[in-house]
Amino acid sequence: MSIIFVGLPGSGKTTIGRQLARRLGLPFVDSDHVIEARLGCSIREFFAREGEENFRDVEQQVLDDLSLNHQGVLATGGGAVLREVNRQHLHDRGHVIYLRSAPEDVYRRVRHDTGRPLLQVDDPMARLRALFESRDPLYRATAHHVIDTGRPSVATLVNMIIMQLELSGQLPAKPQSPAPQAAS
């Protein structure tokens, strides 16, 4: 079983994915970390040196491999859904959860993070709004479930996701406690 997270950069894919994996006793992998290991440098460095298109080629190869072979929880990069082949592979090979975050919430979380190449611009808030507008339909098309992140705690979001997975039959439902027997 593979549970795959998609969403904007900073929507919580890695944080929530890691917690969910821990709760379910599954392995966790972040596709960006696999990409960096393969590249031998940070995504930011590769992006600056080789450009976005070359980065997306490497990302596509890594996502193809992970969606075929990783059994557990997978956090993808924010742009993983930009290519149709990635959307198809993720949707067909795993159970995809879109962590839907408003651009304002993302900005609040990542405004000091200099490791996000797409946000190193003069107006990161405008950039996040543009990313949300263009990517939200792609995330929705890829996902089996949409979870609005808003302001709930990580633990609350993980509980919501587990409940969605149980309701959809992806996880066995927790057994209910037997009703107390009436005295006869």
Average pLDDT across each block of 10 residues of the chain; the chain has 184 residues. List them in order. 93 96 97 96 91 96 96 96 98 97 89 71 90 97 95 92 92 61 54
- Residue 75: predicted pLDDT: 98
> Is 56 annotated as belonging to a binding site?
yes
pTM for this one? 0.90
- Residue 181: predicted pLDDT: 57
> Is 15 annotated as belonging to a binding site?
yes
> Is 13 annotated as belonging to a binding site?
yes
> Is 136 annotated as belonging to a binding site?
no
The upper half-sphere exposure of residue 106, i.e. CA atoms within 13 Å in the direction of its Cβ, equals 26
How far, in Å, CA of 161 to CA of 74, rounded?
14
> Is 123 annotated as belonging to a binding site?
no
What residues contact 95, with CB distance under 8 A and at least 6 apart? 1, 2, 3, 4, 144, 145, 165, 168, 170
- Residue 174: predicted pLDDT: 64
> Is 14 annotated as belonging to a binding site?
yes
> Is 116 annotated as belonging to a binding site?
yes
- Residue 165: predicted pLDDT: 94
- Residue 178: predicted pLDDT: 53
Can you list the domains of the chain with their CATH numbers? 3-167 (3.40.50.300)
The percent of the chain in helix, strand and coil, each rounded to the nearest 5, is: 55, 10, 35
> Is 65 annotated as belonging to a binding site?
no
> Is 10 annotated as belonging to a binding site?
yes
- Residue 176: predicted pLDDT: 54
- Residue 124: predicted pLDDT: 86
- Residue 173: predicted pLDDT: 67
